[in-house]
Structure 1
């Protein structure tokens, strides 16, 4: 429920939310950055719609930062035409079955 709540909050404020699927790499990078910047002292969020409380069950900021950095590297590799390297970076984030 927490990831849904944070995703909703991110998308609600994201300036480029109306872009096509061609921008998903940038969207994912920015979402990971948003997650990584969450205050680690915050323990509760309000879920959209129901306004129920959603509690933190552990830290996620480090993993989000790591995914953001891999996404940044994959975007650079894509822009440079390094397909294999781009695919490997996305596989580090999404797992070995990511087709890329």
Structure 2
């Protein structure tokens, strides 16, 4: 995905700051990941600069990441549904699609 680590950090900070379920335990990580991908997908593609939390330095866009974030959101949604349906192998495969082959399986 064409996005720098500092931009991910910046957007994650902004996401968590307003996320209504930020007080939930780690057991809800799948929902938080899904919702973060949705947040990324809804960024304005015309925005080219964000302000980093703390330092206030300018963080620039490296490319369009919204489409891949939407794809990750849809796969995360499927993974959550597989979990609800007790299809653990399929759930793990969807998360591997999102996070890569190093995702624990």
TM-score between the two structures when normalised by the length of structure 1: 0.97
1:45 has 2:71 as partner = no
Moved over 4 A (4+): none
Q: What is the CA distance between 1:99 and its match in structure 2?
A: 1.4
* Aligned match for 2:20, one of 15, 23, 40: 15
Q: Which residue number corresponds to residue 8 of structure 2?
A: 3
Q: Which residue number corresponds to residue 104 of structure 2?
A: 99
**For 1:2 and 1:96, how far apart are their aligned partners in 2?**
23
Unaligned runs of 5+ in 2: 1-5
Q: What is the CA distance between 1:97 and its match in structure 2?
A: 2.4
Unaligned runs of 5+ in 1: none
**For 1:53 and 1:97, how far apart are their aligned partners in 2?**
32
TM-score between the two structures when normalised by the length of structure 2: 0.93
| RMSD after superposition | 0.7
Q: What is the CA distance between 1:96 and its match in structure 2?
A: 1.6
